[in-house]
């Protein structure tokens, strides 16, 4: 990993719901905490990292699409617009239970997308498991015209922010 930490990927099952009155940063932090606590039931020792990501366009928090039709609507709503990607992360030290959390944002502008471009992208299958129905690490990169902020926040995990959280957790455990 880019920040020098060996890790094991261990998925947890949680029923994510977008809370209508919750801020985007509050949403991603809340769900990263829930995921970290769920992982702590499985992993009694070590450092747990849990994350959650949403796309925010206007006042709407966009999670993962339910199906292909929903993915089409999400892509149409992002076409030609700038939106914000929010990633929340929680670090939980086990068995001590020390916890730190935070979030990162990146602004992304889409090209105007024709119906043909959207349909071709839907055929790749990529949109179905990603917040906002796109991922720029593969075919979806052609949808994006501009990015402001950390690219790794959109592609995967904001490593710079993660390193800050690791340092906060270290400082907390020294006290």
Strands, DSSP E only, in the chain? 46-57, 60-62, 82-94, 98-110, 144-148
* 84, two tokens: 């914000």
Following DSSP, what letter does each residue of 19-67 receive, concatenated? -TTS-HHHHHHHHHHHHHHHHHHH--SEEEEEEEEEEEETTEEE---SS
Is 52 a residue of the active site? Answer: yes
CA distances to 28, 30, 75, 83 from 101, in Å: 10, 9, 30, 23
The CA distance from 22 to 164, in Å, is 25
Interhelix angle for 115-123 vs 68-78, to 10°? 140
Task: For residue 35, say if its preceding peptide bond is cis, omega within 30 degrees of 0.
Answer: no
Q: Which of 52, 67, 129, 138 is catalytic?
A: 52
The set of catalytic residues is 52
């Amino acid at each position: 990993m880019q920040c020098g930490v060996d890790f094991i990927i261990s998925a947890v099952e949680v029923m994510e719901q977008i809370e209508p009155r919750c801020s985007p940063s509050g949403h991603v932090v809340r769900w990263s905490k829930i995921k970290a606590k769920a992982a702590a039931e499985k992993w009694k020792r070590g450092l747990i990292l849990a994350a959650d990501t949403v796309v925010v366009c206007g006042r709407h928090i966009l999670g993962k699409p339910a199906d292909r039709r929903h993915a089409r609507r999400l892509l149409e709503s992002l076409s030609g617009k700038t939106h914000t990607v929010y990633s929340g992360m929680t670090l939980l030290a086990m068995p001590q239970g020390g916890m730190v959390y935070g979030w990162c944002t990146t602004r992304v502008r889409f090209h105007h997308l024709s119906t043909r471009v959207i349909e071709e992208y839907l055929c790749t299958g990529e949109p179905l498991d990603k917040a906002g129905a796109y991922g720029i690490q593969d075919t979806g990169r052609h949808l994006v015209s501009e990015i402001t902020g950390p690219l790794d926040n959109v592609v995967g995990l904001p490593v710079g922010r993660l390193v800050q959280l690791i340092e906060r957790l270290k400082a907390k455990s020294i006290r």
